[in-house]
């Protein structure tokens, strides 16, 4: 073919780079599939990706069967409004108002293909070229992709390495007149850390102070796919109750174990300054990226399943078991209260550790892609048997690293 390889202008180089260099998580996930073919499913301990192992609640299937059986197929498989069907958005708003004593409005909810689309749309809607967007490291790696795609500049704030809350001093330092937005994620991927009310208050107080100082709006985007995945009995501080200029992205991927169905939403706080304009821009950003009319079947399921979750007991069991066993081996693990991740301090450099872990058929994501060094992330949303059988490998890996370190 005379056209092959002729003209690199055929493609957008930035997009090519994103597509040809897979994320560290996806890279390991693919590697895991290969290893499973070679060694068999049971001999590979794949802790690489946040794919929930717990089945969706039985009501999900029942509602879907009912919809498919009884709903007019033209309606069920047809387009909804670009931002989603109003009765679905109303049910979400009513649920949030009841559950979190919030004051949300259905008119400011936009249905999306998961939280990923939600974050990408929200950033595209707000960010102008050169605007600074702050993230707390360690952070979900796709934030960087979405921020840069929107033309923004990623600014990272250090963690307080004891509790892995944000370093508030650093946050104050990093907010400038160019700051457009701060992204928070609690319970957190990759650390599992939960920001309780005190932490959220601290963050929002700093944002309010800085809004005054610079006489401008600074937005807070709270990315909440793990909102219900909490192992402590504490209330979830819903951000619109604490900060006016807030936006929430949510997903049913983790709470209902439906990551492949791609359903979630964006909520703009009704009392945000310029809320109407912001929501219009969200509709425009969705349009510009082709993210309109999230899957109708799953939109229509939502009003009937709000408030339900998958059974999280397997995560609880895995978590307790892993914490106990890994700490007794000698691993240091960040204290966490939610999601389904453990963030483990590595006894040697993290990429080398992850490479060596592979030789024990253990798949652990090195922390560099989360914007920090010295750790690996373990996703324990796998079956209990995998967790139990993995301990031998963790032990040999640790002994091998410590022995080599002492040479």
Q: Which of 88, 109, 115, 150 binds ligand PLP (CB under 6 A)?
A: 115
Q: At what angle do helices 86-100 and 296-305 cross, to 10 degrees?
A: 30
Q: Which of 32, 114, 192, 366 binds ligand PLP (CB under 6 A)?
A: 114
By rule CB under 6 A, what count of residues binds ligand PLP? 13
Cβ closest to ligand PLP, residue 185 vs residue 369: 185
The CA distance from 260 to 238, in Å, is 26
Q: Residue number with the shortest CB distance to ligand PLP?
A: 114
Is 192 among the residues that bind ligand PLP (CB under 6 A)? no
Cβ closest to ligand PLP, residue 140 vs residue 394: 140
DSSP 231: S
Cβ closest to ligand PLP, residue 49 vs residue 329: 49
In Å, what is the CA distance from 305 to each residue of 82, 184, 187, 350, 377? 22, 26, 22, 41, 31
Cβ closest to ligand PLP, residue 185 vs residue 336: 185
Residues 126-165 that bind ligand PLP (CB under 6 A): 140
Taking alpha carbons only, the member of 263, 326, 351, 347 closest to residue 300 is: 263
Residues 91-110 that bind ligand PLP (CB under 6 A): none
The distance of closest approach from Cβ of residue 140 to ligand PLP in the complex, given in angstroms and rounded to an integer, is 4
Q: What is the DSSP string of 76-144?
A: HSS---TT--HHHHHHHHHHHHHHH-----GGGEEEESHHHHHHHHHHHHH--TT-EEEEESS--THHH
**String marking each residue 365-384 x if it binds ligand PLP according to CB under 6 A:** --------------------
The distance of closest approach from Cβ of residue 221 to ligand PLP in the complex, given in angstroms and rounded to an integer, is 11
**String marking each residue 259-298 x if it binds ligand PLP according to CB under 6 A:** x----x----------------------------------
Report the DSSP beta bridge partners of residue 153: 132
In the Cβ-directed half-sphere of 19, how many Cα atoms lie within 13 Å? 6
Q: Which residues contact 290 (CB under 8 A, 6 or more apart)?
A: none
Q: Which residues bind ligand PLP (CB under 6 A)?
A: 50, 114-116, 140, 185, 189, 223, 225, 251, 253, 259, 264
């Amino acid at each position: 073919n005379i056209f092959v390889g002729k003209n690199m202008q055929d493609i957008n180089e930035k997009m090519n780079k994103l597509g040809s260099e897979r994320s560290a998580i996806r890279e390991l996930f693919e590697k895991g599939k290969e290893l499973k073919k070679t060694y068999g499913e049971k001999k590979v301990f794949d802790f690489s990706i946040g794919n929930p192992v717990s089945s969706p609640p039985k009501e999900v299937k029942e509602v879907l069967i009912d919809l498919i059986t009884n709903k007019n197929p033209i309606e069920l498989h047809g387009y909804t409004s670009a931002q989603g069907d109003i009765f679905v958005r109303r049910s979400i708003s009513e649920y949030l108002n009841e559950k979190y004593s919030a004051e949300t409005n259905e008119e400011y909810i936009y249905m999306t293909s998961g939280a990923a689309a939600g974050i990408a749309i929200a950033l595209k809607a707000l960010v102008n070229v050169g605007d600074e967007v702050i993230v707390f490291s360690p952070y979900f790696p796709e934030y960087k992709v979405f921020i840069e795609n929107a033309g923004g500049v990623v600014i990272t704030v250090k963690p307080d390495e004891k509790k892995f809350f944000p370093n508030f001093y650093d946050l104050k330092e990093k907010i400038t007149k160019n700051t457009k937005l701060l992204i928070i994620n609690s319970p957190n991927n990759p650390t599992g850390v939960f920001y309780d009310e005190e932490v959220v208050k601290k963050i929002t107080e700093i944002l309010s102070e800085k809004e005054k100082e610079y006489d401008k709006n600074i937005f807070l985007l709270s990315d909440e796919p793990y909102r219900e995945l909490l192992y402590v009995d504490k209330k979830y501080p819903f951000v619109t109750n604490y900060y006016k200029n807030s936006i929430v992205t949510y997903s049913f991927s983790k709470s209902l174990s439906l990551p492949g169905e791609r359903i979630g939403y964006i909520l703009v706080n009704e009392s945000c300054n310029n809320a109407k304009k912001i929501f219009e821009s969200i509709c425009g950003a969705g349009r510009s990226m082709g993210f309109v009319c999230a899957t109708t079947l799953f939109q229509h399921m939502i009003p009937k399943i709000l408030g339900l979750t998958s059974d999280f007991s397997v995560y609880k069991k895995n978590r307790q078991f892993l914490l106990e066993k890994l700490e007794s081996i000698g691993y240091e693990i960040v204290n966490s209260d939610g999601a389904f991740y453990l963030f483990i301090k590595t006894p040697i450099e993290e990429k080398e550790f992850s490479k060596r872990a592979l030789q024990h058929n253990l798949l652990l994501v090195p922390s560099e892609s989360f914007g920090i060094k010295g750790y690996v992330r373990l996703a324990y949303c796998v079956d209990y048997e995998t967790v139990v059988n993995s301990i031998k490998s963790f032990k040999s890996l640790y002994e091998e690293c410590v022995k080599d370190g002492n040479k």
